């Protein structure tokens, strides 16, 4: 199973598996061996990070789902941490999660 994360506003593929395709050091892909959970982590989320992020799982048939991130104002850690399971389907429910964090708190 290969999981990709795409930022929809510019159709930028952020990652495929553990390979990262962005120069933004705030963005990480986290995966624990032996699990089907893949996390996209954006540290110190800012307003320009707002938008739709899509998780794609290359199963047959392909599974994909989207989550909308809205970052407003001076978000604090408690306000910004979100961990959402966004993929549909019995096998994919654990496959994708997205996490946005403000590490300044």
CATH number of 50's domain: 2.60.40.10
Give the tokens for residue 104.
Answer: 């300044």
Q: Dump pLDDT digits (tens) for 41-82.
A: 888 888 888 888 888 888 788 888 888 887 776 554 333 333
Instruction: Quote the percentage of the chain above a pLDDT of 70.
Output: 69
Measured distance CA(26)–CA(74) in Å, rounded: 17
Number of domains present in the structure of the chain:
1
Contacts of 74 (CB under 8 A, 6+ apart): none
- pLDDT tier at 88, thresholds 50, 70, 90: very low
The predicted structure's pLDDT at residue 96:
54
The predicted structure's pLDDT at residue 41:
83
0.85 exceeded by pTM: no
Residue 6 confidence (pLDDT) above 60:
yes
């Amino acid at each position: 199973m290969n999981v990709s994360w795409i930022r929809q506003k510019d159709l930028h593929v952020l990652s495929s598996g553990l390979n990262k395709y962005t120069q933004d050091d705030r963005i990480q892909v986290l995966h624990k061996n032996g699990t089907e959970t893949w996390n996209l982590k954006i540290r110190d989320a800012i307003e320009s990070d707002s938008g739709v992020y899509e998780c794609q799982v290359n199963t047959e048939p392909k599974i994909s789902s989207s989550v909308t991130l809205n970052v407003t104002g001076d978000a604090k850690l408690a306000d910004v941490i979100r961990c959402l399971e966004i993929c549909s389907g019995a096998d994919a429910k654990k496959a994708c999660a997205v996490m946005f964090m403000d590490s300044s708190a």
